[in-house]
Amino acid sequence: MRDLVYPPVIAFAKTAFTVLDLRIRRTGTEHVPRTGGALIALNHISYVDFVLGGYGALPSKRLVRFMAKEVLFRNRYSGPLMRGMHHIPVDREAGAASYQQAIRHLEAGELVGVFPEATISRSFQLKEFKTGTVRMAAEAGVPVLPMILWGTQRMFTKDHPRDFTRHRPIAISIGAPITVTREDDPGEATARLRETMAGMLDETIRSYPEQPAGAWWLPAAYGGGAPTPEEAERLDREELARRAERRR
């Protein structure tokens, strides 16, 4: 697969990281295989997660093909970039096509990035996971790599203005590969993946260098001002209702 667009986009991102003087801490990068397919499962807390998620794989000299909303591929500005980087459009009305495209990428030895929560978590804690992640890994015969991002929500997330303040700490943590087979129950395998990532998220939050009490970007369970998971679920339902009303 020829990559004429991805390298200059990476160079631009690295320049932006330098200008912003982001204090990026990557751990577990040795778990990213240098060859062969693997499915990277990421938590979802911001609109820039795919940028920093891809950065986590760079020490292994690998490019990640992310599964992303189809609307981004139709956008006048992001569309050419998303297509040029061979990311995978996800149409929720016709998800089978994107699922099969991801399988083809994995079987061809690519890294595919997926957000098992499907949408951004307003609580910044893990939402419920969809089973598609483990089902894809099992069908393609590749491992799942759990990845946790933290600090990206402070830059650009739901319900808050963009804030690209300099010197911000960003944490990227990659866990050991998880093997999933066709014989595994998808529900049980998904629960194991979520439990693993929940533990990684807890460790990442606790080791993050900034822990200001009441901060809007810190989960309520850690003394922050973010919505609780229950409050976040209510906000998600209200957002979906507003979208449905606009469509009508």
**Percent of the chain's residues with pLDDT above 70:** 99
Instruction: Find, among 159, 157, 203, the residue nearest to 25 by Cα.
Output: 203
For the chain, which residues make up each domain, given as ranges? 6-214
Per-residue model confidence (pLDDT) at position 39? 98
**77-116: pLDDT as tens digits:** 999 999 999 999 998 766 789 999 999 999 999 999 999 9
At 145, list the tokens.
Answer: 């790599």
Architecture field, domain 6-214:
3-Layer(aba) Sandwich (3.40)
For residue 100, which phi and psi values (nearest 5 degrees)? -70, -35
Mean pLDDT of the chain: 96
pLDDT higher than threshold 80 for residue 134 = yes
How many residues are recorded in the chain?
A: 248
Tens digit of pLDDT for each residue in 59-81?
A: 999 999 999 999 999 999 999 99
> What's the rounded mean pLDDT across residues 125-138?
98
Would you state the pLDDT for residue 246? 86
Report percent pLDDT > 90 for the chain: 93
CA-to-CA dists, residue 236 to 24, 121, 191, angstroms: 30, 9, 22
Contacts 24+ apart (CB under 8 A), 104-110: 105/37, 105/65, 106/37, 106/38, 106/39, 106/136, 106/137, 106/140, 106/142, 107/37, 107/140, 107/141, 108/1, 108/37, 109/35, 109/36, 109/37, 110/1, 110/37, 110/63, 110/65
pLDDT in tens, 146-155: 999 999 999 9
173-209 residue pLDDT tens: 999 999 999 999 999 999 999 999 999 999 999 999 9
pLDDT band at 244 (very low <50, low <70, confident <90, very high): confident
